[in-house]
Amino acid sequence: MNVTILGNNSALPAFGRHPTCQAVELSSEIILIDCGEGTQVQMQRYGIKWRRVHHILISHMHGDHYFGLPGLLNSMSLQGRKDELHIYGPQQLEPIVDAMMHAGGHQFEFPLHFHTLPDGAGVISDGTYFKISCFPVQHRIPCHGFVIEQKNARRRLLIDQCEAYGIPKTFYGPLKLGEDYVAPDGTVVPNELVTAESLPPRRYAYSADTLFSDSYLPYIQNADVLYHESTYLHADVEKAVARFHSTSMQAAQMAKMANAGQLLLGHFSSKYKDITPFQEEARTIFENAMATIEGTTYPV
């Protein structure tokens, strides 16, 4: 699993330091998290193929998190998309998109499914290779964070054992799916002798915009990577509280309490010209913290 920070169009000064929009890549699938103004431009710039996007998650109804969605959907339709697309977001989102398309006399040429996020926490998509959950955070309006869990459906091969039992490489695929091997002489090699359980699933947690609070701590516990907003440096903690945002040190404290593997900082206020202090402050509490940079891909 990899996370690419798309941000918004950096030509827009007000949003240039607001890398909220992200593309989470899982094998052949890409999940978009939030879709601010300029997202489709950023996708093209950083090589994110919209044809691989089948799920879009919208955390809340502030413009820097969804203003780019109607344009992206319209472009998908005009460019011949046929595959279905699932959008998960607040209940106000669907009528806004519908009204914009209706006003322009447009209709989508592909199946589009809107899913309203629950008031609380819950699983919103559960497939063969990944699961998506949401959880409420503390913001000025209803807002959700997300956890994406990549499933390892296939078993791990024990290559030495496979070779010892004379299993041909052409059968490695069925072994990963749990099948036993039957040799030409009829001898059965049980799958558990030549494979092992798959690795634990990787978990990526996205905090969205939130006041520092332990209310969502249970949902992000033990995340391999936690993206947490850090709009302000800690010297401006009063502004953070007043505007329902967090500071870099608060994000680091949350990562420490959650026992996260790594912390990615983002959603920096445009008032700051240098994001280096965000990383420096966070590392005084949580060493494995990084200030995210637009266009950079981070492994999970």
Mean pLDDT of 44-66: 95
Mean pLDDT of 211-231: 97
Catalytic annotation present for 126: no
pLDDT at 18: 54
Calculate the CA 167 to chain-centre distance: 39
Say if residue 172's pLDDT is above 50.
yes
pLDDT at 10: 46
Mean pLDDT over all residues of the chain?
Answer: 92
* Catalytic residue from among 64, 160, 224, 236: 64
DSSP code at position 48: -
> What's the pLDDT tens digit per position in 25-52?
997 899 999 998 889 999 999 999 999 9
pLDDT at 19: 54
Of 45, 77, 93, nearest to 297 by C-alpha is 45
Strands (E), 162-211: 181-182, 188-189, 195-196, 202-206
Which uninterrupted H or E stretch holds 279? helix 276-283
Mean pLDDT of 145-170: 92
Of 231, 228, 227, 226, nearest to 268 by C-alpha is 231
- Order of strands, sheet of 2-5, starting from the edge strand that comes earlier in the sequence: 112-116, 85-89, 53-57, 29-33, 22-26, 2-5, 297-299
Query: Which domains are delineated in the chain?
Result: 2-153+198-299 (3.60.15.10), 156-196 (no CATH)
CA distance 19 to 229: 10
What are residue 141's DSSP bridge partners? Answer: none
Do residues 33 and 69 touch, judged by C-beta distance below 8 A? Answer: no
Say if residue 11's pLDDT is above 70.
no
